[in-house]
Structure formats: structure tokens, C-alpha cells
Amino acid sequence: MKQGKQVLLSCLLGSIFVTAQNKQILYDFTEIPQALMINPGMSTDFQWYAGIPVLSGISLQAGSSGLTVNDLFADDGVDFNVKVREQAIYGMDIRDELSGAYQVELLNGGFRGRNRDNFYSFGIYNEGDAIGYWFKDYAILAFEGNADQLGRRFDLGHLKTRGEMLNVFHFGINKRVNGALTLGGRAKIYSSAFNFSSTNNKGYFVTNEGQNNLLANTIDADLELRSSGLNEIEDALDNDSSLLPGILTRRLFFGGDLGLGIDLGFTYKLNKQTVLTGSLLDLGFIYSSTDVKNYTVKGSATVEGVEVILPDAFSSTNDDFWQNLVDEVEALVPYGTNSNSYIYFRPTKLFGSIRYNWGEASNPNMDCDCNYMVSKRKDYTKYANGAGGQLYMINRPRGPQAALTAFYMRRFGRAMALKTTYTVDKFSWSNIGLGLNLQVGPVNIHVMADNLLAYGNLADSHYSSFQLGLNIISWGAK
Amino acid sequence: MKNKILLSAFFVIAFYSCIERQNFDQYDDLEIIPTVEASILYIESPERLLNEIPGQDFYSQDYNFDGFSEDVFSERVLDGFIFYEIENTTSKEMEATVEFLDEGGNTLDTQYFHIDPAPTPLVQLQVAYGTGRSIEIIKNTSSIKVSVRNLGDNSSVSSLPDPKIIFRSSGKFRLRLK
């Protein structure tokens, strides 16, 4: 039982905090309806599909770029404090992060329009993500203190974190413009359950030789943590956790902060066998006005202890010099809270790919509607092999993060397709992923996982992700 | 047949994951013990004032100092040092006494300083608590009483510019945060 808990904890710590929503295996996997969600302009020949509610698309991703569970908790006989000091405190950089994301489709469907060049998709999905960068100077200050560090500025800007949970209601149009170009767009309404962010912090803490006394401690801070929706949740957790599902449900279905966004995408066939794709996702914002509570610390103060200058101090012998000092610092560096509404932007993602196809064409010139994968059009021909490269970028608090992927895709008739990827990003240079799509009768199943080489010891993985989906496919024509 | 082999391979890979033995009990061994330092009390007086106040009892004042007794400090402090520095550029020989008092005004610790008239080097002293005197003194200190006795006269004037008696102090302590 204990071992089971340890395995569970390893999995959670080792993989829940992952990178950031790169779905490199799913991207442009044209057999899978969910691939439309990351490129609304994907070349598609579906007649219609219906995702199994909750099971049509589930994805979990987690990453820790600087540290693994194994780095700290390996049963290797090394003093834990040494490991923390070497691997975490001084081993990680401020660009190292812990991050995680999940997505669960609640509803997803799509159908071809009266104009057969148009394909419409719609649905609702729930997602959450969080990221926290390594707050290095805060950690050093906590572990080492400020003693014997004269002149060293501890950067308060090292605190950078954000996170959110929301439902996304979406409707997308995929339009085949001509034999070479397919465009797509998706409108989104965001309904946020909660969000928090603290990303624009500035300031420092430093200890110098004092002008009068031996030491002078100076803080110059401009810190802010913005949050929406957390107070009510915290109250529910403290007082009556049975209220929590109701609170979350209400907020996730238009009872919380609302926002708007769009996805854009395209597929362009450079020639019969070479395909270029791109998409821009979650170009949008959310207006936070529900249960907002923001925390601020702003100001500057230098303290050299209680200072008594005679004879001036003779006139204030009854004063409480200590309390005066505390009051003075609090006035100079006030801690405040407010409930000001604010707008925050979604983490926008960019995908791009180029693919070369070759080999046996799986459905050339088919003229039937016996399967949603079967098209009358030559331009939907699927080849047995495809290989290429993909680019992924996401907007993060410390600037854009990128990942490069090389992939190979293999189709085995209409029943099965495999895609394997090799991805390089800040988390790993040895990330090999594998995705499988199966068409079993009317049922479409896909399963994907990456960073497979790390599966030898999951606890030593910097990154892992897992996706699966289940869709029902109509065999008849629309 | 080929598909069956590939399918089997996929699931073998998918389920072959494992986790090397981890020992999460190590977290209990984690020690977070920073050493913090800051100034405590600074007092200065010009020689003019020493001449204006007749007799030996020049100055005595009890300063509230809650820094040590705050829970965040007193419940975590392990050991540390108090540093004193006295600079005398006056013509007076003096004696200073620093007392740490608890909430009831009882003296927990006393430190005497003898200060020669200028020119004299800085008087510097480092007092250890936890490894020397009891750390309980620090934990229970609620105020600091400083007394200065003028052992010289009330008329002489130092030849040094802007003559003063200056008392400086700081603390450096280890705290156990975990």
C-alpha cells in the first residue's frame, strides 16, 4: 500500500507538472477528429463525428525543466539536504519551471455542411494549466539567509507564476478553399472558474553596511498577485467542501469570469505530396471581475534598526521606538489588497509543420461514402508514409517557449495509423513520442504518449504527456 | 499480421514504464536554517550634551524591542551573536551598560563596556547566544536598556571634529524554518 502511494506520488510529481500543452503527436494527425482542435484549418474529409462525452479527448501533460523527482528522492544514500542544495537551490535557473496542463473534452462533435467544402465542429472542453518559474533568489534567501551577503541583491522579480481552470465553449468552421488550401477558424467563449497570476514583480532586498548603524537592510518592492475566484473556493474548502462542486460548476458554465478568443489555422499543399500547415490558438482574453482579490506590496525602505539621536530623542523618551520603526516600514512598503477587475490573456500557442508524403495512396479516387475517411476528392488522398517537421511555440510569463519536432507517420490501410515523434525543447533533448489511431468498426480510438525513453524510470523524467480519445464515427453519408 | 505485431509493440512500450525506488521519507530530513542579520540599536550623542548634563549618570533609557520576542523569531531562533561597536571621539571616559529585559522588566543579561577618552580605538564586542550564553535570553528579551555614565568631567572638549559617543549594535542569528 505504501509502495502504491509512492508510485502514485512519483507519477504525480514526476509528470503532472509538465511543459506546456504541446500536442506534437496529435498535431496534423488527420485521422483523428481532435486534431482539428489544434489546427482548425486541418485538411479533413470527415462526414461527421461525435466524441464520446468526457472520453473523446483527455490529455495530461507535466514538466519540470530543472529537476526530477528522482534527483531529490532517489534512494541513493546522499544527504537530502545536499541534494536540495545542489540540485534545486543552486542547480536550477530562473528559467526553469514546473508546469502542468490538462484538458478534458466534455462534448465534441462535427459535421459536414450542405456545402461539402465546409466542415463544422463544436463542443465544450475543460482545461487547466499552471506554471511556476524557479524563484531562485527567494529560495536562496530562505535557505541561506542574508548574513555575510553584503551588497547582494536578492531579486524579488524571480517570483513568476500563473494558473487557471476554465471551460471553453467553441464552434469552428473548416473550409476547403480549393484543392490546395484549407482554412479554418474557431470562436471560443471562455468561462473561468479561477485564475491567479503574479508575473510582473520587480524589486530587490539587499543588506549593506549602514550609514549610521552596522547594517542597513533595504527592500525595494513592486509585487502583485492577482486572483479571481479563489476566495470563495478557499472558504468552501475551509468551511464546507460540499459546496465546492456547485461553485465550480456554476463558474464553469457562464457563472464566472467570461472571455473571448479565436483559433486560426490553415493547410496548404505545396504540391501533390508536400503539405504546409499552421495554426494560432487561444488568441483571446478573459475579464476577471468575479471574486477578485489582488495582493500588492509596493514601496521602498531602508532599516538600520532603532535609531536614537540625542538630544532630539530627549523630547520623545516615552515613544515606542520599535513600534515607530515598524509603522514607518509599513508606511513606506505598504501591503495592500484590492478587488480591482482585470483582463488577462490566454497563453497563445502557435503550431506549424511541413510534411512530405509518399508511398501507397490509401484511398485514391474512391467514390463512395462508406467511411468518413473515404473521400471523393483526389486532394484528400492519404499516403502510406509521411515525414516532416513541426514547430510549436507558446507565450509564457518569461517569454515564448519553443519546441521542434521531427515526425514520421505510417498508415496501415484505414484501420490503423501510427505517428512517432522526436521533440527537442527546454525539458528534454531525447523526447520520443508515439501515437496510435485505430478505427474499429464505428469506433475511433487514439492513444498517445511521449518521452517514452523516460518510461524506464518515470521519476527521473523531466516531461511526460498522455492523451487518449474515443469517438463514434458514422459510416453512412451525411 | 503486421498490424498485430505493431499493435502489440505499441502496448508493450506503453506499459513497460516503471519507477525506480524513491524514498519520500527523505523530506523529513530537510533542514532549512538560514542565518539572518540586521541592525538592532543605534544611539549617538554629541559631547556638548555630555557637558550639559551634570553628574555621572548621563543617560539611561529602556527601549521596547519586540524583534526578538515576535513568534516568527523566538520560536525559530537556534543561536547567534550580538555585535556591539562603540565609537568615542569625545574627551570623556565613560561606562556603558546594556541590559536585556523581559516583559516584566527583569534583567536577563547585562553587558558592560568601559570606554576610554579619545583618541581611542573602536570598542568592539561579539557576544554569543546559544553557543555561549543561553539563547533563552534572546527569546525572552522584550526591551533593551542602555545606560551611560560619564566618568570624566563636564567641561572638556575633544580636539577631534564633531565629537560624539556612538553606540552601534547588530544581531546575526540562525533560524530553523524547517
Phi first, then psi: give them for residue B102, nearest 5 degrees: -85, -175
State pLDDT tens for residues B7-22: 565 555 555 567 777 8
Residues in B touching A9 (Cβ below 8 Å) = 22, 24
Closest CA to A226 of A195, A184, A247: A195
Which of A69, A145, A436 is facing B36, going by the closest CB pair? A145
Residues in A touching B24 (Cβ below 8 Å) = 6, 9, 73
- Closest approach of A347 to chain B, Cα-based (Å): 30
Q: Is-contact B10 A434, C-beta < 8 A? A: yes
DSSP H/E element including B145: strand B143-150
State pLDDT tens for residues A84-142: 999 899 999 998 988 889 999 999 999 999 898 999 999 999 999 999 999 999 999 99
Kindly give, in sequence order, each residue whose CB lies less than 8 Å from that of residue B17, ignoring residues fewer than 6 positions away. Answer: A455, A456, A458
CA distances from A14 to A237, A454, A455, B95, B174 (A): 26, 10, 11, 63, 33
Cβ within 8 Å, pair A144-B34: yes
- Closest approach of A282 to chain B, Cα-based (Å): 31
Which of B6, B27, B42 is facing A305, going by the closest CB pair? B42
Question: Looking at residue A368, what is its pLDDT?
Answer: 43
Q: Is-contact A418 A438, C-beta < 8 A? A: no
Cβ within 8 Å, pair A412-B85: no
Instruction: Cell numbers for A92, please give them.
Output: 536550477
> How far apart are the C-alpha atoms of A261 and A395, rounded to whole Å?
15
CA gyration radius, chain B:
29
ipTM: 0.87
Cβ within 8 Å, pair A207-B38: yes
In degrees, rounded to 5, the angle at the alpha carbon of residue B152 between the alpha carbons of residues B146 and B157 is 105
Kindly give, in sequence order, each residue whose CB lies less than 8 Å from that of residue A461, ignoring residues fewer than 6 positions away. Answer: A14, A15, A68, A451, A454, A455
Residues belonging to chain A:
478
Question: Looking at residue A373, what is its pLDDT?
Answer: 43
Instruction: Cell numbers for A337, please give them.
Output: 489588497
pLDDT < 70: residue spans in chain B: 1-17
Q: Which residue is it, cell 477528429?
A: A33
Instruction: Cell numbers for A454, please give them.
Output: 523516460
- Closest approach of B118 to chain A, Cα-based (Å): 19
Cβ within 8 Å, pair B6-A455: no
Cβ within 8 Å, pair A412-B2: yes
Which of B10, B19, B67 is facing A459, going by the closest CB pair? B19
Which of A147, A326, A458 is facing B17, going by the closest CB pair? A458
Q: In this structure, how many other beta carbons lie within 10 angstroms of the beta carbon of residue A129?
A: 21
Whether residue B12 lies within 8 A of chain A, CB to CB, comes out as no
Question: Looking at residue A369, what is its pLDDT?
Answer: 42
Cβ within 8 Å, pair B20-A148: no
| Torsion angle of the four alpha carbons A195, A199, A200, A202, in this order, in degrees rounded to the nearest 10 | 130
> How far apart are the C-alpha atoms of A18 and A152, rounded to whole Å?
32
Closest CA to A281 of A345, A347, A349: A349
> How far apart are the C-alpha atoms of A375 and A381, rounded to whole Å?
8
What is the pTM for the complete model shown?
A: 0.82
Which of A80, A148, A212 is facing B29, going by the closest CB pair? A80
- Closest approach of B44 to chain A, Cα-based (Å): 5
Kindly give, in sequence order, each residue whose CB lies less than 8 Å from that of residue B89, ignoring residues fewer than 6 positions away. Answer: B47, B118, B158, B160, B162, B163, B164, B165
Cβ within 8 Å, pair B24-A6: yes
Question: Looking at residue A374, what is its pLDDT?
Answer: 44
Question: Looking at residue B9, what is its pLDDT?
Answer: 57
Pairing between β-strand A97-112 and β-strand A58-64 as defined by DSSP bridges: antiparallel
Whether residue A1 lies within 8 A of chain B, CB to CB, comes out as no
Chain B 79-108, residues with CB within 8 Å of chain A CB atoms: 83, 85
Whether residue B59 lies within 8 A of chain A, CB to CB, comes out as yes
- If chain A, 478 residues long, is cut into consecutive pieces of 10 residues, what is the mean pLDDT of each piece? 39 39 90 93 89 90 85 89 91 89 94 91 95 94 94 95 96 93 97 94 96 96 95 90 92 94 96 94 95 95 92 77 90 94 94 94 50 48 91 89 95 90 89 92 90 80 86 63
Cβ within 8 Å, pair B63-A323: no
